[in-house]
Amino acid sequence: MRKPKQKTKRGYPIGVIVGFEPMGAVIWKIFSERPQLAERVKLGRKFKNAELNQLYRFYEDLIHALRPLLNAGLRSILLLSPPKTTYAAGFLDHIKHHHRWLLRENNPHSATFRQLVGSGTTEDELSLFMQSEEYREAVGSATSAEADQLIYQMEARLNDVDSGLVLFSLKDIEQLVFAEGTRKKKFKPLKLLPEHILLTADYLKTSQQKSRIQRLLQIAKNRDIKTKIIIDDESPSGMRVTQLGGIVCFLRTNSEYEKQLAEQLFQ
């Protein structure tokens, strides 16, 4: 009896691909090793036959489907359309007119979009496309732009000595994330909530504490703490995080109570 084919590990999260097709779109979560289907959004008829109100509802359905991914920290979005079509351009034009906040620079809730030509409606198609130089350049550009926005936030916390806190060591970040339990079923709410954890791909790859890092990232995910692995270590954001040790975590301490908690936790 043949053993079922085992899929490769997903790896770490990178971003999102929206693969447009003649009657809808397929949303994929992109990991370093392979894609994972997130959702299919149907238009109900072919783009070329759709009326303006139908296109509007379809684009709004796409935005609604993307929101959970954006909230989870996946903010690098590649829009993939077949040759000689304007599917992605139409969606991006809708965003510019109705959801401009998604495109604002230095906005913590914005996203980075890139348009590409290709097919991405099946896992085989997408896996093949992800091996192309065009994909590597686009995802590198999008994730670098996203990381630059996060570095902007981190620098703001560094310069705000009264209500900003930045942690530079794995031990301190573990102490913060693990403070109220490490088992998901027994979690207590964190009294100090991280805004983001940033680390470089090189730090993850070369660290002798890889198992500790993976555990931290898993518990952070279980707690809905946003994490970002910076793929390009030579980008400005990658070099900045490397300069700070390869991993950082930043947060705001708004009240005197939170400031006292931070002092007690990291004294």
State pLDDT tens for residues 119-137.
888 888 888 888 899 998 8
pLDDT of 2 above 80: no
- Write the CATH number for 190: 3.30.1330.30
Q: pLDDT tier at 172 (50, 70, 90 boundaries)? A: very high
Look at residue 1 and tell me if it is in a domain.
no
Look at residue 23 and tell me if it is in a domain.
yes
Mean pLDDT of 237-261: 91
Of residues 156, 158, 198, 191, the one with CA closest to residue 176: 191
| SS3 at position 129 | helix
pLDDT of 70 above 80: yes
Of the chain, the percentage scoring pLDDT greater than 90 comes to 60
Mean pLDDT of 70-91: 93
Residue 255 and residue 160 share a domain: yes
- Write the CATH number for 94: 3.30.420.60
Question: 247: which residues sit within 8 A by CB, 6+ positions away?
Answer: 168, 169, 170, 173, 197, 198, 199, 200, 203, 213, 241
Look at residue 49 and tell me if it is in a domain.
yes
Residue type at position 7:
K
Q: Which of 97, 131, 165 lies at the terminal end of a domain, its last residue?
A: 131
Residue 121 and residue 173 share a domain: no
Residue type at position 66:
L
Residue 102 and residue 160 share a domain: no
Residue 126 and residue 24 share a domain: yes
Q: Which of 131, 162, 194 lies at the terminal end of a domain, its last residue?
A: 131
Q: What is the residue-wise DSSP string for 20-67?
A: EETTEEEEEEEESS-EEEEEEEE-SS-GGG--HHHHHHHHHHHHHHHH
Question: 164: which residues sit within 8 A by CB, 6+ positions away?
Answer: 156, 157, 158, 250, 251, 252, 253
Residue 69 and residue 109 share a domain: yes
Residue 265's pLDDT is: 78
Domain count, the chain: 2
d(CA 147, CA 114): 15
Residue 174's pLDDT is: 95
Query: What is the per-residue pLDDT across 39-54, written as a single tens digit (0 to 9) for each?
Result: 999 998 999 999 999 9
Residue 99 and residue 52 share a domain: yes
Strand ranges for 82-163 from DSSP E: 112-117
Look at residue 127 and tell me if it is in a domain.
yes
List beta partners, residue 42: 24
Helices (H), 45-132: 52-71, 87-98, 123-129
Q: Which domain holds residue 59?
A: 13-131
